[in-house]
Amino acid sequence: MAFEALDELLDEALHLPIAGRVYRVPAPSAEVGLRVQAIVHAAAVAADGGRADEQILADAAERDLYADVLGSAHGEMVADGVPWPALKHSALTAMVWISQDKAAAEKFWNTAGDPSRVAPNRAARRSNPSAAASTTRSRGSTSGTSTRPAPPRAKGKQRRH
């Protein structure tokens, strides 16, 4: 068995639809990918109350991170006059893709970055009549095992204390 060409195995781009146009975000360079990983890790440490590496976060502030993670799509979005919230959401989606994977990026994109939109809250589920529990009883176990029946109770004799 031989190794196949990696560029044919990996889908190395995101395709983000904005205002009727699809922008292709190419895979980042190894340098950008490693920097994003470090930034995401430092942010997670800080969010957990730990001490984040200030040098990493300062480097992120100094460089144009959004342009780096969006690659050529950044210039296209700016030239097309894409609104700031859309450009920012695109860049954050690309960061999720870089630090996690395409499935996580798609979920982030489709929920506009709001994790509460992934699954409706309990009140919303209960108020939805189509989501109500079914009244059909579920089938019993089909594993072929059963519990032993309880021994019959003796009639007539009862113990007195």
Rounded to the nearest 10 degrees, what angle do helices 84-99 and 72-79 cross at?
170
Rounded to the nearest 10 degrees, what angle do helices 102-110 and 84-99 cross at?
150
What pLDDT shows up at residue 143? 56
Cα(98)–Cα(69) distance, rounded to whole angstroms? 8
What pLDDT shows up at residue 96? 93
Dihedrals φ, ψ of 133, to 5°? -65, 145
Q: Give the residue extent of every domain in the chain.
A: 21-113
Query: Nearest-CA neighbor of 23 among 92, 75, 65?
Result: 75
pLDDT in tens, 23-81: 999 999 999 999 899 888 888 887 777 776 676 666 655 568 899 999 999 999 999 99
